[in-house]
Amino acid sequence: MHTDITNVHGSKNRQTTKNYNTNILILGKTGVGKSSLVNYLYGQNIAIAKSGKPVTERGFHRHAPFMYRSLTVTVYDSWGLESDKVNEWRRDLTAELERTDTDNIADWFHTVIYCYDAKRSRLDDYEKTHILDELVNNGVKIIFAMTKWGLCSEREKSAARETLNKFYPGFSLIPIESVSQKLRNQTTTVQQGREELFNEICINLRDNLIARLISRTREQNLNTLKKSKEEVLEYYDSKSGFFTIYGENLKNAIIKHTSEVYRANLKRDYNDFSAFYDQINDMSRQVVRAYTGLNIDTHGKIIDDIVSRYANIVTGWENSFREYLSSILMFLSGLPWLIIQRLWITRSYRKKIENKLDELNRKVSDDITVFLDSVQNTENHIKEKFLNTMRARMNSGKH
Ligand SMILES: Nc1nc2c(ncn2[C@@H]2O[C@H](COP(=O)(O)OP(=O)(O)OP(=O)(O)O)[C@@H](O)[C@H]2O)c(=O)[nH]1
Ligand SMILES: [Mg+2]
């Protein structure tokens, strides 16, 4: 997989040096400024951009990746949308996705930048129903780039915002001037919007990583529990039976082993999780810093709030895990271990231990689900309090 968290199993060290990869798809009708935006993002002319007939050829054009902050960014330019070519266009997109190893467009393109010519300020039916709505329904994060901003009058600017807000309320709208163009009155337009776009791109990547972190943690946790159970039972098999140790020795050995196995394995899961989470937060801090003008006090309070919520979740989880572990240890100590050398008893004890471990696994797993839900809620909280504040500022034009 391209942008991945496969290193979630790795050491903290390896993770801190990891660069994140994000793929961005630039869409929009022909002539709205897609290729000009590619050039602006890259900081050099790598795509042909000019006025007149449709310029960029049919298909999706992947440009070489470049670095932005700690991100590796890969941009795909696209064939301009036209009302009579929507079906061909969609077939091409499907073909492009088939070349990747992702089933879900949102996992390949973390961000779609939809270019909207602010000067013209209209959204056609075919764009809405056949392109935008479908992308949204597939979980794709769309940023609207309101292009040719430097050419717009105040009236055109508010018309653009109004139209987009009406159909896509809450989406981020970023004024873009990709080129600096000489106007008739001898003034030149000023390029703008690059930083804002990258900030939003980081936010989208963060969302994607969090979603995947959560589903992976869940998966990893189930494996860990299964593995821990097997390890304990294997140990039991190797130590019990006719000729091996029995009685107090066996009991103590199994109790010690169970406790160690579970602690170590779950601790490892937790460390992986938090190392990765830290890194995601690092990335968001970069984004946060990039947004100037946001009240520093508000920012500080929100961060404190997140940190304390997260700490509570972790403490809560650790406490309940301790309870489970002690209940299973109590059960193990309660077994009459002295007669364990007899084979049929050995087997029925094994079954009892296995059932008890299953019960423990279910409880721990349920609890981790609750934990991950809280992480998701914390994320939503961050969004609501912080990102929305920033976006609202941009969308109302104060930016
Ligand atoms: N002032 C200004 N002009 C722009 C901007 N974006 C694009 N243009 C101009 O609009 C024309 C079309 O730009 P392109 O970038 O080629 O548009 P496109 O969307 O790639 O078009 P196709 O490849 O045909 O789909 C060019 O003349 C650009 O200079 C912008 O942000 N500001
Ligand atoms: Mg083009």
Cα 391 to middle of ligand 1, angstroms = 25
pLDDT at 310: 55
151 CA: nearest ligand 1 atom: 1
- Does residue 201 lie in a domain region? no
Same-domain check for residues 172 and 251: no
The domain total for the chain is 2
The answer, yes or no, to whether any atom of ligand 1 lies below 6 A from the CB of 46, is no
DSSP secondary-structure letter at 188? B
Same-domain check for residues 251 and 186: no
Among 192, 219, 235, the domain boundary falls at: 192
- Does residue 205 lie in a domain region? no
Cα 62 to middle of ligand 2, angstroms = 13
pLDDT at 294: 47
Same-domain check for residues 28 and 84: yes
Same-domain check for residues 183 and 222: no
Residue 269 exposure: Cα atoms within 13 Å on the Cβ side: 27
Same-domain check for residues 176 and 272: no
- Does residue 121 lie in a domain region? yes
Among 141, 161, 192, the domain boundary falls at: 192
Residue 392 identity: A
Give the chain's length: 399
Cα 48 to middle of ligand 2, angstroms = 7
49 CA: nearest ligand 1 atom: 16
- Which regions of the chain are under pLDDT 70? 1-19, 241-248, 283-318, 337-345, 385-387, 389-399
Same-domain check for residues 76 and 19: yes
Q: Give residue for tokens 């089933």.
A: 103
Same-domain check for residues 62 and 103: yes
pLDDT at 129: 92
Query: To the nearest whole percent, how much of the chain has pLDDT over 90?
Result: 30
Same-domain check for residues 220 and 154: no
pLDDT at 292: 44
Contacts of 247 (CB under 8 A, 6+ apart): 337, 338, 340
Same-domain check for residues 287 and 364: yes
Same-domain check for residues 138 and 221: no
- Residue ranges making up the domain that contains 10: 6-192
- Does residue 165 lie in a domain region? yes
Query: Is 105:141 a contact under the CB 8 Å cutoff?
Result: no
- Does residue 145 lie in a domain region? yes
